[in-house]
Amino acid sequence: MAAFTDKKERITALMHGKDRPGIVARVSGWIYARGGNILHADQHHDNENGIFFQRVEWVPAGGVAEEVELFKKLAEGELEMELKISVSSAKPKLAIMVSKFEHCFIDLIMRVRMGELDCDISCVISNHEKLRALSETFGLKFYCVSVSAENKAAAEARQIEILRECGADLIVMARYMQILSPEFLRNCGAPVINIHHSFLPAFAGAKPYHQAYRRGVKIIGATAHYATADLDEGPIIAQDVTTISHRNTVDDLIRKGRELERTVLASAVRWHLQNRILAYKNKTVVFD
């Protein structure tokens, strides 16, 4: 048999459901029996709630489409698991929502261009014109949809129309300084990742660096999370912190925080694109 290489198409399955003996053996045995080669397998047991989580990535020996359908029957039927399954040849389409701050926006673009994030940027949606020229320099479709209290429902309807036209598989709020309504999140057609410039749950809401400065904290952080109807309370994907001192000004906190925002958001987007995140209730399991 020819050696497997990373260039071969891969299937990745994320599963969770009621924990019971034999799940790992059944999944690995099923892949082995069909001649597949497992590249990655990891699992987690939530002993408190009796829930089993697994990520398995493999190179199939036969047809990919057929293997996907047969595995669905195994996971959802026999094992009674909730399943998310993907194939490596299907490159996701990323939609970026941004207002005026460009640090996370530019960072995402460069990581995509360098191949660090395996996706295509399908569109950029903003409520300001400031980043149009920069977007078009990189050949990106830019849509400006102004948002106010009076037109919010109509503006979000237009944004949803754009997202569906562009086929977005993932929406990233790269410092998009608007609150997305529950209606938008229900109808946008893709998961939404937000970067919040604070180590949540501390300093939620507006101007967290100013809040942190007034409180005199010794660390500040950034949090990437899935957006939900509850503001800044969605499942947390990635976080990081840096130290500060009494000598640091608000501007220092903002500068240090923006460095964190870039790396934390990039990590969350990368893990999502690699199908390493399982969201359950209001938590996430992020597989190595």
Task: Identify the CATH number of the domain in which residue 32 sits.
Answer: 3.30.70.260
Domain boundary among 43, 59, 87: 87
Mean pLDDT of the chain: 92
User: Residue 222: what are its φ and ψ, rounded to 5°?
Assistant: -140, 150
Which residue did the predictor score with more confidence, 55 or 218? 55
State the Cα–Cα distance between residues 268 and 170, nearest whole angstrom.
12
Residue 170 resides in a domain = no
pLDDT in tens, 161-196: 999 999 999 999 999 999 999 999 999 999 999 998
- Closest C-alpha to 92, from 121, 119, 123: 119
Domain boundary among 87, 116, 151: 87
Residue 123 resides in a domain = no
Residue 108 resides in a domain = no
User: 263: domain range?
Assistant: 191-288
Q: What is the secondary structure of 183-249 as a DSSP string? A: HHHHHSSS-EEEEESS-TTTT-SS-HHHHHHHHT-SEEEEEEEE--SSTT-SPEEEEEEEE--TT--
Q: With bands split at pLDDT 50, 70 and 90, how would you rate the model's confidence at 213? A: confident
What's the pTM value of the predicted model, to 2 decimals?
0.90
Domain boundary among 44, 62, 87: 87
pLDDT at 1 over 60: no
Average pLDDT over residues 5-10: 72
Marked catalytic residue, from 107, 230, 232, 240? 232
Residue 253 resides in a domain = yes
State the Cα–Cα distance between residues 146 and 275, nearest whole angstrom.
33
**Which residues are paired to 38 by β-bridges?**
58
- Cα–Cα separations (whole angstroms), residue 170 to 34, 69, 232, 262, 277: 32, 23, 18, 17, 13
Specify whether 232 is catalytic.
yes
Query: What pLDDT shows up at residue 200?
Result: 66
Query: What pLDDT shows up at residue 201?
Result: 60
pLDDT at 6 over 80: no
Instruction: Report which secondary-structure segment, H or E, holds 251.
Output: helix 250-273
Residue 248 resides in a domain = yes
pLDDT in tens, 34-50: 999 999 999 999 999 99
> Tokens 């408190």 appear where?
48
Residue 180 resides in a domain = no
State the Cα–Cα distance between residues 261 and 253, nearest whole angstrom.
12
pLDDT in tens, 58-78: 999 989 999 999 999 999 999
Residue 126 resides in a domain = no
Average pLDDT over residues 274-282: 93
Average pLDDT over residues 95-121: 97
Query: What pLDDT shows up at residue 30?
Result: 97
Report the number of distinct structural domains present in the chain.
2
**Which CATH number covers residue 214?**
3.40.50.170
Residue 116 resides in a domain = no
Average pLDDT over residues 237-261: 90
